Chain A
Amino acid sequence: MNYIIDRRLNGKNKNAVNRQRFLDRYKGHIKRAVADAVNERSITDMERGEEVHVPSRDLAEPVFQHGVGGRRSVVHPGNKEFVAGDRIARPNGGAGGGSGEGEAADSGEGEDDFVFQLTREEFLEYLFDDLALPNLTKRHLKGNASFKYERAGYSTDGVPTKLSVLRSLQSAKARRIALGGRTRRTLRELEQRLTDADAAGDEFNTFRLREEAEQLRARLKRIPFLDTTDLRYKLHLKRPVPTSQAVMFCLMDVSGSMDQETKDMAKRFYLLLYMFLKRHYERTEIVFIRHHTTAKEVSEQDFFYSRETGGTVVSSALKLMQEIVEERYSADAWNIYGAQASDGDNWSDDSPVCAKLLEERLLPVVQHFAYIEITRRDHQALWREYQAVAEAHPETFALRNIQNPADIFPVFHGLFQRRDAA
């Protein structure tokens, strides 16, 4: 007996576990590839998969095999001009055209890399592996954020999918009993009298009683088995669920002193940050502030892609950030993170103001504040001021220098490395 079975609906990815095992085993290679990719890619296509190269040597599953050398005889097809006893110069490559079994590639020299494609999800997974936002501690109930549906008894109206059959039939039965109770009692009495009359041979009464009983039965029959008033529906109510929420302030210098390359690097850093936040914390808001001599809150699009020039007053951005915090993100309800990127240029009198603003107004309310200086030149007043701040507040403030695109990922990684909860 032969069977034909349709397996097309069976689950796919039977090898998902095996694939994951494979990826875990070559985590080192993959992470390197991902880090390289971040530095090489243009900022707009961060979110796609990546090709990973692993040297075949590292992947080999070794077995006992014959090596090169000794005496081997091989039969090949397609002879054209050879006759027995011909002697041919040995072709390069030693093995003389493969051992004829397709196994030659494993033993030869100069193998190709094993290349495979990471999916977008896997790429991001490895990109942000072991990173976390620091100090995400405060929790606050936010009314309209996320809801959970919970069972809340039964209701008399609802959609058909929520119909509770058991409850509906229960109330139907109750209604039938309530409506038909008296009629049934009368019917029972009538029937009793009917049997009595029948036994007594009272033909007239028998006939009358039978008529009456017939009418009662008809009335009972008219009580519907199930009425719309019987229907009961399961009731679900929305209940708000507490979420931990964070807001990330992205501050960037877009003044004339920031050349295109520097801006690009800053943008890249923020993009990483942005992806990171979007990925890990769905309930995270982001505020983009860019500044030259004055600061402005802008949309994501403007932040990354619009151009502007002018002088530099860093404190303007910090001031704006502080205003926005006071206005919209009270410190007891929000985890506040700040990240600032600049080339280090600042109007010289402004730097102490920045440090003061930061220390007195911002650091007390934020969870963490990171400053990224993108420059190859010597550090200027702003860096020195900030350094003093960092020494005073090592927990909440960090500053890093980025010199070329290759630094971006390591710096980012260093800033947000997951710290074990002490």
Chain B
Amino acid sequence: MRHKPMFEGSDWSFELIERCDQEIGALAEQYGLDTYPNQIEIIRSDQMMDAYASVGMPVGYHHWSYGKHFVEVEKQYQRGLMGLAYEIVINANPCISYLMEENSMTMQALVIAHACYGHNSFFKGNYLFRTWTDATAIIDYLVFARNYISRCEEQHGVQEVESVLDACHALMNYGVDRYKRPYPISAEEEQRRQQERAEYVQRNLNDLWRTLPNARKMDEAEDPGFPREPQENLLYFIEKNAPLLEPWQREIVRIVRKMAQYFYPQRQTQVMNEGWATFWHYTLMNRLYDEGLLTDGSIMEFLASHTSVLFQPDFDHPGYRGINPYALGFAMYSDLKRICEQPTQEDRTWFPDIAGGDWQTVLPEAMRNFKDESFILQFLSPKVMRDLHLFGIVDDDQDKEIEVAAIHDVEGYRRVRELLAGQYNLGDREPNIQAVKVDLRGDRSLTLRHFQFERRPLASSTEEVLKHLHRLWGFPVHLESMWNDSLVSTSHCPAQAKPDAA
């Protein structure tokens, strides 16, 4: 049944947005998209810049790095180097999406489809988000964090707090439990437990660092060492064991750690998340058009914007900045749908389980149970590789030349897929660094061990990070770089006068 178009011109109004949201919501329900309730907020472009700079968080604690980010965004925007994103969406319940007042009505519809139904359903459905974040509590927690940190600033001075935050931010990526599910966070709970925790930690800590030797002395050989097992969550390790931190400093470490944990799923699902939202805005907008709810002009405007978002420059294009997650994700979901609806012989060999299946079951499954790495490993089809002309190269510093390892041909599909999946594996992308030893009886120094991945050394920023770590730990910090069980290099903070002569 053809309807009358919802709107003709480009001007939007609250009634139109509401109408649009209802129509899109109804369609989304037909497709079985399960979402949190939406909270759509209309903001100005300068507010969008604010939101940008605070990584999209509606409330955040104060820190100079957000100011830097803001200054940068503002500068680029003023010079016209960068258009602002049409939308920012926050993984919370209700799911908050920002719409800019400058957008035309068509763009508002696009953003509603993209953010309020695409991203929203991803947040609610994907297993990483379900396990690692608590959408109902995040806003409360952010408020708690902001209040706590400003109280610390009042009590201990902005400088003091800032240096702790700087140090924590440097280690933020190492503040994540990768395997253990963390407790859900909630503000009230935090506040209630915070005092209790401060006392408890301090007591336990004193136990660990007791200066009086234990009556029953352990032999050196018997000493299991501390920590018993290597610790990969450095911030957690510091929060619980750093000898000199004040309780409020520990709490700040904890706040940064919780934030890192909250963002951890987003960092692992970029391709999937953006691809999913793009796939759905494309599907929903086309449905609206088919039902006559959008004018020809609107759908053209939508398509122009959609295409520019999906633009993937070739590797030799001056504008090439790596693979566009929107393009890759959208291509993969669209191709999954194609595999279900019009499977070829190739698809039947590669995807026997899903070829010819029902796309409305296959796609949500693929959205729910994977992260970028496993999603690509599982679902990147030969057709997508051919369409994008993907090829993998190996750049080995022991080799004078770069080798093309595999291309989009029959022999290369699996290899390209593995390489691409590896590229999205956070475990490979970030150096593997663990806390392995604390010299409890000697100088209280902390030793970290870096296990090199593919012989890759650490970047020059390492020294600076160690300084931050040293500030938190309070005693010397050593870092050993290992490759195949042999020590490659060490660095120390404070720097040691003479290098480790053998």
Contact = CB atoms under 8 A, between A and B. Distances in A.
Interface of A: 1-8, 10, 12-15, 17-25, 59-80, 82-90, 95-102, 106-107, 114-117
Given A64-B174, A107-B459, A79 B391 contact: yes
Contact of B402 (A4, A10, A13, A87): A87
B416 interface: yes
B3 interface: no
18 contacts: A4-B17, A4-B41, A7-B98, A12-B44, A13-B50, A18-B70, A22-B64, A66-B429, A67-B456, A69-B397, A73-B393, A74-B393, A74-B395, A85-B404, A88-B402, A106-B461, A107-B461, A116-B75
Given A65-B459, A77-B314, A71 B394 contact: yes
B42 A84 contact: no
Given A7-B47, A64-B465, A69 B455 contact: yes
B405 interface: yes
Contact of B40 (A4, A23, A85): A4
Q: Can you list the 8 inter-chain pairs with the closest CB atoms, starting with the nearest? A: A78-B314, A22-B67, A70-B456, A18-B67, A62-B464, A76-B315, A70-B455, A62-B461
B395 A67 contact: no
A27 to B, nearest CB: 11
Contacts of A61: 65, 166, 169-170
Interface of B: 14, 17-18, 21, 25, 37-44, 46-47, 49-50, 53-54, 62-68, 70-72, 74-75, 78, 94, 98, 101, 116, 158, 162, 166, 169-174, 312-317, 320-323, 388-398, 400-409, 411-412, 416, 419-420, 422-423, 429-431, 433, 450, 452-462, 464-465, 468
B472 to A, nearest CB: 14
Given A60-B461, A60-B464, A75-B393, 10 more contacts: A4-B42, A20-B67, A67-B456, A73-B393, A75-B323, A76-B391, A78-B317, A84-B411, A90-B400, A99-B322
A341 to B, nearest CB: 38
Contact of B315 (A5, A77, A115): A77
Contacts of A12: 44, 46-47, 50
B312 A83 contact: no
Contacts of B392: 73-76
Q: Which of A3, A15, A19 has the most CB of B within 10 A?
A: A15
Contacts of A72: 394-396, 454, 456
Contacts of A70: 396-397, 452-457
Given A67-B458, A70-B455, A78-B317, A19 B70 contact: yes
A77 B312 contact: yes
A15 B170 contact: no
B401 A89 contact: yes
Nearest to A86: B404
| Most B CB within 10 A of own CB, among A20, A73, A117 | A73
B404 A87 contact: yes
Contacts of B172: 63
Contacts of B430: 64-66
Given A14-B50, A62-B170, A78 B389 contact: yes
A85 B403 contact: yes
A15 B40 contact: no
Given A7-B47, A69-B397, A84-B407, A64 B94 contact: no
A98 B67 contact: no
Contacts of B468: 62
A80 B393 contact: no
B397 A25 contact: no
A88 B404 contact: yes
Contacts of A67: 456-460, 462
A320 B248 CA distance: 65
Contacts of A25: 64
Given A2-B38, A70-B452, A77 B323 contact: yes
Contacts of B42: 4-8
Nearest to A25: B64
Contact of A2 (B21, B412, B416): B21
B17 A18 contact: no
Nearest to A117: B75
A231 B20 CA distance: 54
Given A18-B64, A18-B67, A84-B407, A71 B46 contact: no
Given A7-B43, A19-B71, A64-B173, A69 B50 contact: no
A84 B405 contact: yes
Contacts of A97: 315, 320
Given A2-B38, A74-B395, A79-B391, A21 B67 contact: yes
A187 to B, nearest CB: 60
Of A5, A14, A21, A87, most buried by chain B (CB within 10 Å of CB) is A14
Given A19-B70, A65-B459, A72-B395, A5 B40 contact: yes
A107 B395 CA distance: 17
Contacts of A80: 314, 316, 389
**Which of A2, A24, A114 has the most chain B CB atoms inside 10 A of its CB?**
A2
B317 A14 contact: no
Contacts of B75: 115-117
A407 B68 CA distance: 32
Given A62-B461, A70-B455, A75 B390 contact: yes
A119 to B, nearest CB: 11
A15 B462 contact: no
Contact of A63 (B320, B388, B407, B465): B465
Given A84-B406, A87-B403, A115-B75, A74 B423 contact: yes
Given A64-B465, A74-B423, A86-B403, A3 B94 contact: yes
A15 B54 contact: yes
A66 B391 contact: no
Contact of B41 (A7, A71, A75, A77): A7
B385 to A, nearest CB: 9
Contacts of B158: 21
A13 B395 CA distance: 46
Contact of A66 (B404, B408, B456, B465): B456
A17 B404 contact: no
A98 B322 contact: yes
Contacts of B53: 15, 18
A2 to B, nearest CB: 4
A2 B404 contact: no
Given A4-B14, A8-B47, A79 B429 contact: no
A87 B41 CA distance: 53
Contact of B18 (A4, A78, A83): A4
A80 B314 CA distance: 9
Contacts of A106: 461
A98 B323 CA distance: 11
A95 B458 CA distance: 14
B77 to A, nearest CB: 12
B371 to A, nearest CB: 16
